[in-house]
Amino acid sequence: MTKLVHGGDIYTAMEKGTAKEEILDYSANINPLGMPEGVKRAIGKVLDDCDHYPDPLCRRLARAVAEKEGVPEERLIFGNGAADLIFRLTAAIKPENALIPAPTFAEYEQALRSAGCGVGIHALCEENGFALGEGFLSELTDDLDLIFLCNPNNPTGQLIERDFLRKVLDICEKKNIFAVVDECFIDFVTDPQAVTVKDWIAEYTRLFILRAFTKNYAMPGLRLGYGICGNRKLLDRLTAAGQPWSVSLLAQEAGVAALKEDAYLEEARQLIFRERKRLVQGLSELGYQVFPPAANYIFFRLPDKNDPAYAARFTEDLAEEGILIRSCANYRGLKTGYFRIAVRGKEENERLLRALNRRERLWQKQL
């Protein structure tokens, strides 16, 4: 059986007998408000049009995103989720050598290795809060073709400061290294405009920015991502590296409708900011080491105990209560004891904290 490496796997839980409505999924970092009603209505309106192929150029969607992002339409490309574009990037660029930090999103390394690329790893240190530091700059060598950076980083939640990104991009431009900056969680940062580098796409020919509708509009099942890039030749190569109809009609219309949901998105942001603070406090009071979060998820480490089962059984114990938690043990550079949870609504977070408190009390009796 294929081993799944990501969160959001409610299907295995259902196969084990947990009813879908009883599952509380903290393993995927999705907007806790759920898909907007306006998006659902938009999907319903175009169901009868699905007897036609979708627009391979995503023209309506491109116009809507261009207006929203303040970038020209010709600097956009769309895919079947951000992951689709990650794999198409490696297919189009055909890199021989690449560099990624660790821990970070697993798809970068998977896509690179699928293209036969050598992958160098820059280890992020827990002592520095898993922040990307100056040492990374010295590893941007002439033999590199491609780097991936996630901002904020998944799973650690750390932001890369714009001043540091400027240094990285200057070196990449000089040394002809393509730099992919993944901003899929940017909407859940306190001040997205102070973090994004989309206003630099005209300056850097080697910069590619990844975005997606998955997290912010709670539509992972529809698969819709996009890239922003000032390099027309690279965009043409990316187009040629994918199938003509990579974005379904339903996903395109859902994206157009989602971009109108400003009030919904701001409501979600404020909910996340409030609940993130409360969850951090609750996890800290349990004795967990919480790394300061910047987005809609929280990365933490369990305290060391004499019994290794205390950490090894963490996800299993929570799953028995219908709560899915993302173990980060399969991230490069991490081990058993590191976990990531999404930030959800108040009642759901209360249920999670109650379950964690019950677990701690039970383990206190065993240790």
pLDDT tens for 167-204 read 999 999 999 999 999 999 999 999 999 999 999 999 99
- Say yes or no: 14 and 108 in one domain: no
pLDDT of residue 13: 60
Token pair for residue 101? 């930090």
Token pair for residue 365? 């009796």
In this structure, is residue 4 part of a structural domain?
no
- Say yes or no: 146 and 275 in one domain: no
- Say yes or no: 205 and 276 in one domain: no
The average pLDDT across 328-344 equals 96
- Say yes or no: 119 and 231 in one domain: yes
The domain boundary residue, chosen from 207, 233, 258: 258
Number of separate domains in the chain: 2
Confirm if 227 and 208 have CB atoms less than 8 A apart: yes
The alpha carbon of 154 is separated from its chain's Cα centroid by a whole number of angstroms, namely: 6
- Say yes or no: 296 and 147 in one domain: no
We report the CATH number of the domain holding residue 302 as 3.90.1150.10
- Say yes or no: 149 and 243 in one domain: yes
Beta bridge partners of 327: 339
- Say yes or no: 282 and 133 in one domain: no
Give the percent of the chain with pLDDT over 90: 92
The average pLDDT across 317-345 equals 95
Token pair for residue 235? 């965009």
Give the percent of the chain with pLDDT over 70: 94
The domain boundary residue, chosen from 220, 238, 258: 258
Quickly list H helices, the chain: 10-15, 37-45, 59-69, 82-93, 106-114, 135-138, 162-175, 232-240, 249-258, 262-285, 309-312, 314-319, 346-366
Confirm if 77 and 239 have CB atoms less than 8 A apart: yes
Confirm if 122 and 136 have CB atoms less than 8 A apart: yes
- Say yes or no: 169 and 253 in one domain: yes
Query: Who wins on pLDDT, 14 or 129?
Result: 129
The average pLDDT across 32-50 equals 96
Confirm if 125 and 132 have CB atoms less than 8 A apart: no
In this structure, is residue 2 part of a structural domain?
no
pLDDT of residue 366: 79
pLDDT of residue 364: 87
User: CA distances (Å), 22 to each of 16, 18, 25, 319, in order?
Assistant: 13, 7, 10, 11
We report the CATH number of the domain holding residue 179 as 3.40.640.10
**CA 30, CA 26: separation in Å to the nearest integer?**
9
pLDDT of residue 1: 45
Helix pair angle (82-93, 232-240), 10° resolution: 100
Confirm if 61 and 70 have CB atoms less than 8 A apart: no
pLDDT of residue 23: 80
- Say yes or no: 244 and 357 in one domain: no
Q: Which domain holds residue 324?
A: 10-30+263-366
Q: Is the pLDDT of residue 353 over 50?
A: yes
Q: Is the pLDDT of residue 12 over 90?
A: no
The domain boundary residue, chosen from 195, 228, 258: 258
- Spatial CA neighbour of 109 closest among 96, 121, 91: 121
Confirm if 336 and 311 have CB atoms less than 8 A apart: yes
**CA 313, CA 366: separation in Å to the nearest integer?**
13
- Say yes or no: 185 and 72 in one domain: yes
Cis peptide before 155, with omega less than 30 degrees from 0?
yes
**CA 75, CA 80: separation in Å to the nearest integer?**
17
In this structure, is residue 3 part of a structural domain?
no
Token pair for residue 151? 């901002």
The average pLDDT across 125-131 equals 94
Please report the DSSP string for 309-321 in residue order.
HHHHTHHHHHHTT
In this structure, is residue 183 part of a structural domain?
yes
Q: What residue type is assigned to position 309 of the chain?
A: A
Q: Are strands 146-150 and 178-182 parallel, antiparallel or unpaired?
A: parallel
- Say yes or no: 268 and 250 in one domain: no
Q: Is the pLDDT of residue 91 over 60?
A: yes
Which H helix or E strand runs over 130? none
- Give phi and psi for 121, each to the nearest 5: -115, 125
In this structure, is residue 106 part of a structural domain?
yes
Q: Is the pLDDT of residue 4 over 70?
A: no
Q: Is the pLDDT of residue 101 over 70?
A: yes
pTM of the shown model: 0.94
- Say yes or no: 242 and 137 in one domain: yes
Give the pLDDT confidence of 297-328 residue by residue, as tens digits: 999 999 999 899 999 999 999 999 999 999 99
